[in-house]
Structure 1
């Protein structure tokens, strides 16, 4: 009587598994930390953006009663010759 045992084994790995080695698809604690830091940054950026957007007026059009901007008074500019003559 002859007895033959067959055992199931995974196929042998090729020399170059193409990046799909033993650790393929596993994340590390450093990756989780980076993800949490990005999440916290996004939360703070969203809060800041909301705060700034609340300060934006509903319309940038000028009010209906005012069509012209108020004129500013401009001081007269003295010429250099007048400054020399006036200082003497």
Structure 2
């Protein structure tokens, strides 16, 4: 037998199956009770996440247009904004507060003097 014939014979032979078929023993493909418990816990977590997401989405406005949002804002929000603006006007120095709060009076006073 030549070297080429021997090499061809060795290459053509089927490999010997190993003793351990790579984790595919008698328990291959079977799940344990721990897997079932984890699957149920994940399902419950998904249900709670979906409920939370829908609650947060209900709080969002239908439109993000600022003019429509201001018109649809409740009176409580409008009063809070007015109180904030008033507090800012009181905190500003008197000269700036008058010019911002009463622009028509400031213009009238300037028009009367030459």
Fold shared, TM-score > 0.5 on shorter chain: yes
CA RMSD of aligned residues (A): 2.4
Higher RCO (C-alpha under 8 Å, 6+ residues apart): 2
Query: Deviations along 1:31-51, whole A, 9 cap, x unmatched?
Result: 000000000000011001001
**How is 1:15-54 mapped onto 2 (pairs within 5 angstroms)?**
15-54=19-58
More helix by share: 2
Q: Tell me, which stretches of 5 or more residues in structure 2 are unaligned? A: 1-16, 71-81, 94-114
Q: Tell me, which stretches of 5 or more residues in structure 1 are unaligned? A: 1-12, 77-88
Q: Secondary structure at the match of 2:66?
A: coil
With structure 1 as the length reference, what TM-score do the two structures score?
0.58
Q: Secondary structure at the match of 1:63?
A: helix
**How far apart, CA to CA, are the structure 1 residues paired with 2:49 and 2:33?**
24
Runs of 4+ in 1 over 2 A off after TM superposition: 70-76
**Do structure 1's residue 61 and structure 2's residue 78 form an aligned pair?**
no
The size of the alignment, in residue pairs, is 61
With structure 2 as the length reference, what TM-score do the two structures score?
0.46
